[in-house]
Amino acid sequence: MKDSIHKYFQVGLISFMAYPANMRGDDPNVLEALRQIAYDDYFDAIEVNWIRDDALRAQAAKLLSTAHMTVCYGAQPRLLTTGLNPNALQEEDRLAAERTLLEAIDEAEQLGAKGIAFLSGKWEAEHREEHYRQLLKTTDTLCAYAKKKGMSVELEVFDYDIAKKSLIGPAPYAAKFAAKVREKHANFGLLIDLSHIPMTYETGEFVVRTLRPYLTHFHIGNTVIASPDTEGYGDEHQRFGFPHSENDTPQVLEFLRVLKKEGFFDTEKPYVLSFEVKPWKDEDPCAVVAGAKRVLNRAWTLLEEE
Helices 91-111 & 128-148, crossing angle to 10 degrees? 30
Contacts of 159 (CB under 8 A, 6+ apart): 165, 166, 196, 199, 200, 235
pTM for this structure? 0.96
| Domain locations in the chain as residue ranges | 5-302
Please give the pLDDT value at position 170.
Answer: 95
Distance between CA atoms of 14 and 5, rounded to whole angstroms?
18
| CATH no., domain 5-302 | 3.20.20.150
Percent of the chain clearing pLDDT 90 (strictly above): 98
If you average pLDDT over residues 289-293, what whole number do you get?
98
If you average pLDDT over residues 49-73, what whole number do you get?
97
Q: Is the pLDDT of residue 149 over 80?
A: yes
Please give the pLDDT value at position 260.
Answer: 97
178-234 pLDDT tens trace: 999 999 999 999 999 999 999 999 999 999 999 999 999 999 999 999 999 999 999
Please give the pLDDT value at position 306.
Answer: 57
Smallest CA-to-CA distance from 43 within 74, 17, 67 is with 67
If you average pLDDT over residues 274-295, what whole number do you get?
97
Please give the pLDDT value at position 304.
Answer: 87
Mean pLDDT of the chain: 97
94-145 pLDDT tens trace: 999 999 999 999 999 999 999 999 999 999 999 999 999 999 999 999 999 9
Burial class (CB within 10 angstroms; exposed 0-12, middle 13-18, buried 19+) of 137: middle
3-34 pLDDT tens trace: 999 999 999 999 999 999 999 999 999 999 99
If you average pLDDT over residues 155-166, what whole number do you get?
95
Please give the pLDDT value at position 305.
Answer: 75
The secondary structure of 176-205, three-state, reads HHHHHHHCCCCCEEEEEECCCCHHHCCCHH
